[in-house]
Structure 1
Amino acid sequence: MNIIIADDHPLFRSGVRNLLRTTEDLVVAGEASTGDEALELTAKLDPDLILMDIRMPGINGIEATRLIKEKHPRTEVLILTMFRDDQSVFTAMRAGAKGYVLKDADEIELLQSIRIVGSGGAVFGSDIAGRMIHYFSASQSKEPSVHPALSELTRREMDILEHIAEGYTNAQISGKLAISAKTVANNVSTLLNKLQVMDRHEARRLLLQVREGAELPDM
């Protein structure tokens, strides 16, 4: 299995590289220190799997994952990070990652995760799996109704709209979703057009009305 290690910390990459060298089936095909380098190496090497950090210079790991899955769907991505918050986990999943493991996982767990994701499966660290179960169990009883005005939004646009409804600025949304400020601004413009509203305040009002079950005018 050919693997690219994408992480901006040379010492961490060295540790993972040395671990993979102890195996007979896992080969380090290349290393990247930024999201942009991960994209370039993927196009050049066509790896089976990328071990992807989230926070890196330039394009972050989640945005790099989304772009890689769009252009190279055969390549699987396993997120390997220190971020354990729900937003990072679910944003990575939406981007196309098949696994999410914390950097403090032991060597056996990491190797097992690499092999599972590389063979087309999905895997999440024990701590992350527990958080996912709790999240979905809690959300089942409060699933919002879907209004035609919202049904055309992409997952990312819906994520951004929900953050707008909570009062976050574009800069704050950029940090929380680990995407560029330009990407946030572009998606805000698109979702406003799809919802046929004038500004983010009207978009927020529309979403809150849907959550409260209020009647909305035809759009």
Structure 2
Amino acid sequence: MKKLKLLIADNSEIFREGLVKLLEREPSIEVVSTCSTGLEAVESAHEHQPDVILIDTELDECGGIEVMQCIHERLPKTNIMVLTCSEVSTDFFSAVKAGAKAYISKNTSIENLIKAITLVANGKVIVSPPMAARLLAEFNVLEEHKDAVEVGDITRLSKREQAVLSLVAKGFTNKEIATTL
């Protein structure tokens, strides 16, 4: 069985090293590189051509969003997963615009992270439950105040973002969203 090649980009050395140790026990995943900066991540992605990149939205020298955009433009077949503490919806939408296929909380279990890596490598889209709940709550607030929201506000979202938001609002699970999209 071919191992999934994984690149990890996070500014926390302890987090990177801990994640590598946990993932070493998973025979289907090979961590090909770890990076602490955006520049390292772009260079390493080009060198190793990973199947999946785990990246935080916040890197030291430049934002993770810009790094995702750069990698997605250069390596469109590489699957980008955001692994972050941020539960800010604008970070989520920015990540999706930049090419992210998954948005996972750092509070997830290693088992769920491994499942998510495998699913994303196979073309699925994943949104962690905390972010899905946040998006639903924000959508419900918008729905309650839809008369006060200008029509153009939602149309500023890309078609993909609108589709994800619509499915989340309808109560679809991550798996159902991935299958639908």
TM-score (ref. length: structure 2): 0.76
Which of 118, 121, 124 is 1:121 aligned to? 124
Partner secondary structure for residue 100 of structure 2: coil
Instruction: Work out the CA distance in 2 between the residues paired with 1:79 and 1:15.
Output: 17
What is the aligned partner in structure 2 of residue 26 from structure 1? 29
What is the aligned partner in structure 1 of residue 85 from structure 2? 82
Unaligned runs of 5+ in 1: 156-219
1:79-158 mapped onto 2 (5 Å cutoff): 79-139=82-142, 141=146, 144-146=150-152
What is the aligned partner in structure 2 of residue 2 from structure 1? 5
- Say how many residue pairs are matched: 150
Instruction: Work out the CA distance in 1 between the residues paired with 2:109 and 2:34.
Output: 21
Following superposition, the deviation at residue 43 of structure 1 comes to 0.9
Following superposition, the deviation at residue 138 of structure 1 comes to 4.4
Following superposition, the deviation at residue 118 of structure 1 comes to 1.5
TM-score (ref. length: structure 1): 0.63
Q: Which has more radius of gyration? A: 1
The CA deviation string for residues 90-144 of structure 1, in whole angstroms up to 9 with x for no partner, is 1111111111111111111111111111211111111111122333444464563
Following superposition, the deviation at residue 41 of structure 1 comes to 0.5
Which fold has the larger relative contact order, with Cα–Cα distance below 8 Å and residues 6 or more apart in sequence? 2
Partner secondary structure for residue 6 of structure 2: strand
What is the aligned partner in structure 2 of residue 48 from structure 1? 51
Larger fraction in strand = 2
Deviates more, 1:16-25 or 1:133-142: 133-142
Instruction: Work out the CA distance in 2 between the residues paired with 1:82 and 1:133.
Output: 18
Partner secondary structure for residue 47 of structure 1: coil
Partner secondary structure for residue 98 of structure 1: strand
Instruction: Work out the CA distance in 2 between the residues paired with 1:80 and 1:100.
Output: 6
The residue type equivalent to 1:102 in the other structure is S
Question: Closer, same or farther in 2 for the Cα pair 1:25/1:5, shift >3 Å?
Answer: same
Instruction: Work out the CA distance in 2 between the residues paired with 1:123 and 1:145.
Output: 28
Instruction: Work out the CA distance in 1 between the residues paired with 2:140 and 2:100.
Output: 22
Asked if the contact 1:34/1:58 (under 8 Å) is kept, the reply is yes
The residue type equivalent to 1:20 in the other structure is L
Asked if the contact 1:34/1:60 (under 8 Å) is kept, the reply is no
- CA RMSD in angstroms comes to 2.0
